[in-house]
Amino acid sequence: MSFHSNDKRASDAPPAGVPTTNWQEWSQERALAATLFDGLAKDGIDTPGITRDSYGAGEQRAHERIAALAHAWGLEVRTDAALNLYVTFPGRDRSLPAALTGSHLDSVPCGGNFDGAAGVVAGMTVFSRWLRTGFVPAHDCTVMAIRAEESAWFPLSYIGSKAAFGMLSGDDLCILRSDDNRTLAQCIEALGGEPDRLRAGEAFLDARAISRFVELHIEQGPLLVERNLPVGIVTGIRGAFRFRHAQAIGEYAHSGAAARGKRKDAMLAVARLIIALDHDWDEAEIEERDLVITFGRVQTDPKRADFSKVPGHVAFSIDVRSIEPDTLLRLEACVRLRCAEISASSGVELDLGLQTHSKPAVMDAALQASLLNAAAIHGIPTMKMASGAGHDSAIFASQGIPTAMIFVRNENGSHNPAESMTMEDFACALQLLEYGLTCEY
Ligand SMILES: [Zn+2]
């Protein structure tokens, strides 16, 4: 269990390949960040994990903790109609477009302490360094603590960042919270927000007044751990197409008596589809395309299926993701072609059902180059990588704002209590974030 960020400080050494000088220079920031994470963990403890429910008591406590800290440090604090929190460090020329950083403070039920919160703690820690050293950036820099990114509580992602740009619809505000059936509007209003202004499409953020958005987040896959790297620079957030409720419709028959040539085995048809698409994935890999394909749900009907019956019906899902729009289009054509081929040869109807899409979000090339440059300057080993999961950054990129993401090594995945990030790795990411916020752009 690693809610407490100093669990791993026993090693007391920089990550492999990182010069000792940087590591020492950021020792005060590492200590402060550990304290901030421990405070958030204390507020969110919900054994066996951490719960910061969107527009609920857990998320609210986290927002209050960050706002109180910002007030104590004398920084500017604002909230919008959706109760996103903005902490601003004033720059030398306040008329220049601001640099934004931040992430979400909510969590899934019984999740970990770092998913989301790391991005807010990172921005606050960089600000504390500037206060300590007397540094003043050329332009305003703002940490945004974003509301309700996780779709665990309301069936919609990126609620806070969408709201900040006036992108929530009246229908969105009527969605129900999963545990108590209150509407999103009721939950926002109960905490002092103004759903009517959101319903009217009022935007708090103006993309033209924002020079960049840089989000720091824990990595949710195993790549950085496998490659022994403290941080990664994100190239893009994968888009997806999904068939959530596909079905194979064959014919139930006696497993002993039905001749092979006469069977319409729905399970075999789905298995053939899975293998065929796995071969298509092989080909995409040879062409070095970014792609992941998942059949997350494959099920026979528990009422009708039996060991002694040829399965006549299988419900399944297909989730295909890539950062490349043309790869998504190509795979969609592959899925339809494979289904047609398998249906024709097996007599099993493959009905894909309703399709849903999300567009890939490409991270800004110049910002990526700046972050790679910062890593080279500070001697921090890193790699470029795609983000498999969605993030608020996708909304900022969709508004035409140059957007970048820094991933921090994290063991054991995310959305679970075993999330684990060391303060040493976090300090490496802070150095990149500081550069990303202040570099000329
Ligand atoms: Zn997250």
Q: Which residues of 107-129 are buried (b: 16+ CB within 10 A; e: fewer)?
A: bbbebbbbbbbbbbbbbbbbbbb
In this structure, which residues have their CB less than 5 angstroms from ion ligand 1? 115-116
What is the whole-number distance in angstroms between the Cα of residue 108 and the centre of ligand 1?
9
Q: Provide the token pair at 151.
A: 């779709």
Question: How far does residue 433's CA lie from ligand 1's centre (Å)?
Answer: 17
Q: What is the DSSP letter of 177?
A: P
Task: Report CA(268)–ligand 1 centroid distance (Å).
Answer: 37
From the CA of 104, how far away is ligand 1's center (Å)?
A: 7
Q: What is the pLDDT of residue 44?
A: 87
* Tokens matching residue 89: 């460090």
Q: Go through the chain and tell me how many residues it has.
A: 441
Q: State in Å: Cα 16 to ligand 1 middle.
A: 26
CA of 255 to the centre of ligand 1 (A): 47
> C-alpha distances in angstroms, 337 versus 263, 266, 273, 292, 295?
22, 17, 10, 18, 17
> How remote is the CA of residue 200 from the centroid of ligand 1, in Å?
28
The residue type of 137 is P
**What structural domains does the chain harbor?**
9-238+360-438 (3.40.630.10), 239-358 (3.30.70.360)
Question: Looking up tokens 């299926």, which residue turns up?
Answer: 305
Cβ-based burial of 13 (10 A; exposed 0-12, middle 13-18, buried ≥19)? exposed
pLDDT for the residue numbered 11: 54
Mean pLDDT by 10 residues, the chain (441 residues): 50 77 85 96 90 96 98 98 98 98 95 96 98 97 97 90 97 94 97 98 98 97 94 95 95 96 97 98 96 96 96 97 95 98 98 91 96 95 93 96 97 85 94 96 77
For residue 325, say if its preceding peptide bond is cis, omega within 30 degrees of 0: no
Closest CA to 16 of 418, 409, 434, 432: 409
Q: Which residues pair with 176 in a beta bridge?
A: 183
CA of 121 to the centre of ligand 1 (A): 13
Distance 144 CA to ligand 1 centre (A): 14
Strands 49-50 and 45-46: antiparallel
Alpha helices in 347-422 (DSSP H): 365-378, 393-398
Number of Cβ within 10 Å of residue 284's Cβ equals 20
Output the CA 405–ligand 1 centroid distance in Å. Answer: 12
420 CA from centroid of ligand 1 (Å): 14
Q: Rounded to the nearest whole angstrom, what is the distance from the C-alpha of residue 330 to the centroid of ligand 1?
A: 29
E strand or H helix at 60: helix 57-72
Q: What is the Cα–Cα distance from 334 to 327, expressed in whole angstroms? A: 10
Distance from the Cα of residue 31 to its chain's centroid: 26
Alpha-carbon Rg for the chain, nearest whole angstrom, is 24
Q: Is 322 helix (H, G, I), strand (E, B) or coil?
A: strand
Expressed in angstroms and rounded, the spacing between residue 34 Cα and the centre of ligand 1 is 19
**pTM across the whole model:** 0.85
pLDDT of residue 9: 45
